[in-house]
A and B are shown apart, each in its own frame.
Chain A
Amino acid sequence: MQLDEFFVTGEPLIYAGMVAITLVTGAIIFLLTYFKKWKWLWREWLTTVDHKKIGIMYILSALAMLFRAGTDALMMRTQLAFPDMNFLNAQHYNEIFTTHGTIMIFFMAMPFLIGLMNIVVPLQIGARDFAFPYVNALSFWSFFFGAMLFNVSFVIGGAPDAGWTSYTPLAGDVMSPDPGQNFYLLALQLSGIGTLATGINLMVTILKMRAPGMTMFKMPIFTWSTFITSFIIVFAFPILTVALALMTIDRIFGSHFFTLAGEGLPMMWANLFWMWGHPEVYIVILPAFGIFSEVIATFAKKQLFGYTVMVWSIIIIAGLSFLVWVHHFFTMGAGAFVNSIFSVTTMAIAVPTGVKIFNWLATLYKSRIRTTTAMMWALAFIPSFTIGGITGVMLGMAAADYQFHNSYFLIAHFHYVLIAGTVFGCFAGLVYWYPKMFGHKLNERIGKWSFWLFVIGFHITFLPQYFLGLDGMPRRVFHIVPEWLPLNPISTVGAFSMGLGFAVFVYNIYYSYRHSEREQTGDSWDGRTLEWATPTPVPEYNFAVVPHVTSHDAYWNMKQKGETVYDESKVEPIHMPNSTGQPFIMSAIMFFACFALVFEWIWLAVAGLIGTIVMMIIRSFDYNKGHHIDADEIKRTERSARGL
């Protein structure tokens, strides 16, 4: 292989990308060396098993990925602004919509939510860490290296170009012989290890490590939604793992699972992909529902209306999510009977979702709403998401779907649910829990600027796309025709407004770091659940004394009775896990193995695999027992943090 086949050549935009990557990497290395921070980076971050730090790393990575995939989106919108634009060529456009979709789902939405879960769930249930802190670190690093593997594809080897759904036969070896599609398969496989492990980890954490007295139906609603989400992850992700593995074997070793030749079933890929893919939709929306429930209850200063019904509707949504996958390919032609069944199950999901919408409205009813930035994201979510949900029911009608299928109507629908649901949820959650993570709030004034820019931009971008779809504009075209003209430039303007909103959001992080008032207490928003009972910044061990929970909204009730969770007479030495570099090293080796397999350098990949197994063996004989924090040190920490 020649060097010019290894690197992507001939595209000015990609050369610019290479220069940017080199400059940013160089700048990071220079800054770390100049400020002598290498050791700090290794000790405090790369080897940590602390769920709070891992959560912060998840969120930072997710923001970086939001920037990358958002840039893809802006490039697409620029290309589509006017007829016959030649900003991107057809191949480059294909690559960009593929990476936009894949990164937004796998490397933005999921890590952002998993990051918030990492930080918040143990605090909400009164635990000191995850059930398996080592595995949690491994999860993060395998996600991170998976994301990096996917992101290098556009400068090395060429990005995947068969859409984020990667349908066969287009994605197969015959029609996509370049390594791009291998990047897709192996990057998702690598990060999928992390997601599955996190699902198991969170499930065990929530089942086994709740504070005494906290029965399942006294858990905060975000913890509940995380719990159900972990269930979906554990049951849905193996399907993706298997499907990806089958396609990898198809492409690299020449089998015929999804090929046209040799009795392969190309549509079986679509079938398996959506069997995972539809539950995946709920993996990214249910935690957002949980965040909105927490935010709305806090800033409406009321107990969440219909808590039990909320929980049960999450459970029903999760169950139904496994029964609707065919609505993604109604046009495959499976006949009226098959399509009707999946039409009905699809529409059934609207019922528990509607119940949740009305419960949020009922929580807001006659309440004294504090319009903080977090609350505004939550309030904007309700009507925006409802528009997305209603158009979803329209798409769910199989007969009508033959008209809507693969048009911009569909694009508008899923952006309305994913942005108004997941992205607003991530922003709401980040703003809401930000003081718990970093010890200061985000500036409200700048936060509202970013909110309005983003939300107005969002509607300007995607509302016209419904009508473009009805005008017959198909998805994944890279030239528009004059008939679609007035709405396309409008949509592009909206997209840039969203980009500006995101830029303001990021600026706000910097501004608040410099200027925001530091938190004096742990309870920044007059919160209701246990995470606000910890001091800010949260000590390594979270709770000096494990709290005893008697009701839902545990901390709110403690405050009413004038109690705190801290009782100095009950402080005992706390057992904590040790930091370890193994997860980082092991994931780096797996990255190496996957990278070799992308280029089908089999022996290098085998070497990487052996390295991974060696790391597993080392872990098996690792009798590291962790360490204890002694009681005096805990008392000192708590006194200074609580100002006693």
Chain B
Amino acid sequence: MEKQSKKLPIKHIIGYVTSVILTFVAIWAALGSNLPVMWIIISIFLLAIIQAAIQLFLFMHLIERGMGNAPWNMMFHGTIIFAILIAGSLFTMSFGFM
């Protein structure tokens, strides 16, 4: 641990820059592109999925070795919470009204 390498973390910089670009593309798609609403929704969803993948692979140690199953464990629980959040909100906010 005494001598940590001080070279640039090139992977992280690429990931960060791509994320920023994708975010700006999404903002442009939503605010400046004049696409039909359905296409805006589809395109920003696609951009979101790409960005999530970048986060997971470049930052979240998903492909790093020696982490045990901790990342998978957290992703499992995160997915469950996510499912509750989405399904639960739809259920309570859209169904059952008289």
| Chain A residues in the interface with B (C-beta under 8 A) | 207, 231, 235, 239, 265, 267-268, 271-272, 275, 322-323, 325-326, 333-339, 342, 623, 625
Contacts and interface: CB of A to CB of B under 8 A. Distances in A.
Contacts of B85: 239, 275
Nearest to B78: A235
B4 A623 contact: yes
A335 B93 contact: no
A334 B81 contact: no
A335 B88 contact: no
Nearest to A236: B81
B97 A322 contact: no
A49 to B, nearest CB: 18
Contacts of B4: 623
A334 B97 contact: yes
Given A235-B77, A275-B85, A333-B98, A326 B6 contact: no
Contacts of B34: none
B84 interface: yes
Interface string B27-49: 00000000000000000000000
Contacts of A239: 85
A184 to B, nearest CB: 23
A239 B85 CA distance: 9
A265 B93 contact: yes
B54 to A, nearest CB: 19
B17 interface: no
Contacts of B92: 271, 326, 334, 338, 342
Given A267-B93, A333-B98, A335-B95, A207 B70 contact: yes
Contacts of B1: 625
A268 B98 contact: no
B78 A338 contact: no
Contacts of B81: 235, 322
A322 B84 contact: yes
B6 A623 contact: yes
Given A235-B77, A235-B81, A625-B2, A271 B95 contact: no
A235 B83 CA distance: 12
Contacts of A275: 85, 88-89
A629 to B, nearest CB: 17
Contacts of B96: 334-339
A235 B84 CA distance: 11
Interface string B1-40: 1101010000000000000000000000000000000000
Contacts of A268: 89, 93
A336 B92 CA distance: 11
B72 interface: no
Interface majority SS on B: helix, strand, loop or mixed? Answer: helix
A632 to B, nearest CB: 22
Q: How large is the interface on B (under 10, 10 to 19, 20 to 34, 35 or more residues)?
A: 10 to 19
A275 B82 CA distance: 11
B59 interface: no
Given A235-B78, A239-B85, A623-B6, A271 B93 contact: yes
B87 to A, nearest CB: 11
A231 B77 CA distance: 10
Contacts of A265: 93
28 contacts: A207-B70, A235-B77, A235-B78, A267-B93, A268-B89, A271-B92, A275-B85, A275-B88, A322-B81, A322-B84, A323-B88, A325-B88, A326-B88, A326-B92, A333-B98, A334-B92, A334-B96, A334-B97, A335-B95, A335-B96, A336-B96, A337-B96, A338-B91, A338-B95, A338-B96, A623-B4, A623-B6, A625-B1
Nearest to B73: A207
A590 to B, nearest CB: 20
Nearest to A326: B92
A231 B74 CA distance: 10
Nearest to B70: A207
Contacts of A334: 92-93, 95-97
Contacts of A339: 96
B59 to A, nearest CB: 13
Given A333-B98, A335-B96, 8 more contacts: A322-B84, A325-B88, A333-B97, A334-B93, A334-B96, A337-B95, A623-B6, A625-B2
Nearest to A323: B84
Nearest to A274: B92
Nearest to B95: A338
B98 to A, nearest CB: 6
A338 B87 CA distance: 12
Contacts of B88: 275, 323, 325-326
A567 B78 CA distance: 43
A337 B91 CA distance: 10
Nearest to A342: B92
A275 B92 CA distance: 11
**Sorted from nearest, which 6 A-B pairs have the closest CB atoms?**
A335-B96, A338-B96, A235-B81, A337-B96, A334-B96, A326-B92
B84 A271 contact: no
B98 A335 contact: yes
Most buried by B among A239, A271, A272: A271
B21 to A, nearest CB: 17
A88 B91 CA distance: 42
B13 to A, nearest CB: 11
Nearest to A265: B93
Contacts of A337: 95-96
